[in-house]
Amino acid sequence: MSYYASGGGELILNKKGRKNLDAIQHVLDCTADEAFNYTEIDNKGQSLYVCRDFENYHEEKVFAFLQEINPYIKNGESIEYRGQDGQTWRFIKHNGNFFEQSGEIRYSKKHEFQRTKTEENK
């Protein structure tokens, strides 16, 4: 059974990552066929923008990708995912390792959007 998941985020590179952009690009190239990808090293080599969409989500492929980029990413950085059923989670780097955290989206009190007011509502 397939499970669609979409994920992404901006990962700030550590000093080792900024010095090894070719190694990071190699990791990106080697994992490119595992998902619908958009990755970009930007901000003068300071950031790695990642977008990875899976028609058939395989957690082990995500773990392998995170393991490969782990040496180049600062602590506290994360990639967030949302599944086809609305489930949200992220992988966050803490103390040198990536950890998985589940999450939820909470909406604040609704406020009327100014441009949608009609004459009869004024």
**pLDDT digits over 20-30, tens only?**
888 888 888 87
Cα–Cα dist 12/20, whole Å: 13
DSSP classification of residue 63 = H
pTM of the model: 0.77
The count of structural domains within the chain is 1
Q: How confident is the model at residue 114 (pLDDT cuts 50, 70, 90)?
A: confident
Query: Torsions phi, psi of 94, nearest 5?
Result: -140, 130
| The predicted structure's pLDDT at residue 16 | 94
Cα–Cα distance for residue pair 96/36, rounded to 1 Å: 27
CATH number, position 73: 3.30.70
Per DSSP, the three-state class of 3 is: coil
* pLDDT tens track for 70-97: 999 999 999 999 999 999 999 999 999 9
Q: Which domain holds residue 29?
A: 5-121
Four-point Cα dihedral 6, 12, 16, 20, nearest 10: 60
